[in-house]
Amino acid sequence: MIVQKINIILKGLRIMPNYSHIRGRLWVIGNTEGNLIDDVDTDQIYHNAHLAETNIEEMGKYALGNLEGWRDFPQKAAAGDILVVGRNFGAGSSRQQAVDCFRSLGIACIIGESFAPIYKRNAINSGFSLVSCPGIGKTGLKNKDEVEVNSETGEILNPANGALIIRAQAFSRVQLDILQKGHLFAYGKKLEEKK
């Protein structure tokens, strides 16, 4: 019964077809001084006032709605965009809506200095790309720059000239397999079929 409900929910999510090469426009989640904001918690990403919303397609309009300076993010974001975030992004509770709100908007991936462990696991399990990249905040990237992320090698490139901007942590084989299948349950089903 629980697996059926989760599969119904996952059908409403946008699965990124090209999980290994992601290209998009950046949103650098920073403060007024131009520094990445560290320790953005799940309540800042998706406020608990909206937890009653169960339609994933509607969750995007609440993304970053409790983060000072970023409340209008859903109106500016477009499908295929990429976020750059600071250290310990997604700290706090384990609310899945803090991942699903970005999927609802069609965000292609999030590149971060680091991620809270529960947030990272929720994202990977739902087939959403998180790229761990210590030092990303020192690259000089800014809003609306374009990058290409190679999740197999960890390379983050300037698509205009192919120049390496920084090398992130490459995805693990299991993370790549989950992304390729769409989410953890599809990956598990495929493993079960191999037995």
pLDDT in tens, 48-82: 999 999 899 999 999 999 999 999 999 999 999 99
Question: What's the angle, vertex CA 1, arms to CA 99 and CA 182, rounded to 5?
Answer: 40
Residue with tokens 């191999």: 194
User: What is the per-residue pLDDT for 18?
Assistant: 55
pLDDT higher than threshold 50 for residue 103 = yes
Helix (H, G, I), strand (E, B) or coil at 157: strand
Domains contained in the chain, number: 1
Mean pLDDT of the chain: 86
Residues of the chain with pLDDT > 90, as a percent, come to 69
Residue that wins the pLDDT comparison between 107 and 195 = 107
pLDDT higher than threshold 60 for residue 5 = no
Chain centroid, CA 112 distance in Å: 9
Residue among 123, 42, 2, 83 nearest 51 (CA): 42
Kindly report the number of other CB atoms within 10 A of residue 121's CB atom. Answer: 16
CATH number at residue 94: 3.20.19.10
Q: Provide the residue range defining the domain that includes 136.
A: 2-194
pLDDT higher than threshold 80 for residue 193 = no
User: What is the per-residue pLDDT for 24?
Assistant: 95
167, 154 contact by CB (below 8 A): yes
- Condensed to tens digits (0 to 9), the pLDDT of residues 138-192 reads 999 999 999 999 988 999 999 999 999 999 998 887 777 777 776 665 657 766 6
pLDDT higher than threshold 50 for residue 31 = yes
User: What is the per-residue pLDDT for 10?
Assistant: 40
User: What is the per-residue pLDDT for 91?
Assistant: 97
Would you place residue 16 in the very low, low, confident or very high pLDDT band (cuts 50, 70, 90)?
Answer: very low
User: What is the per-residue pLDDT for 180?
Assistant: 77
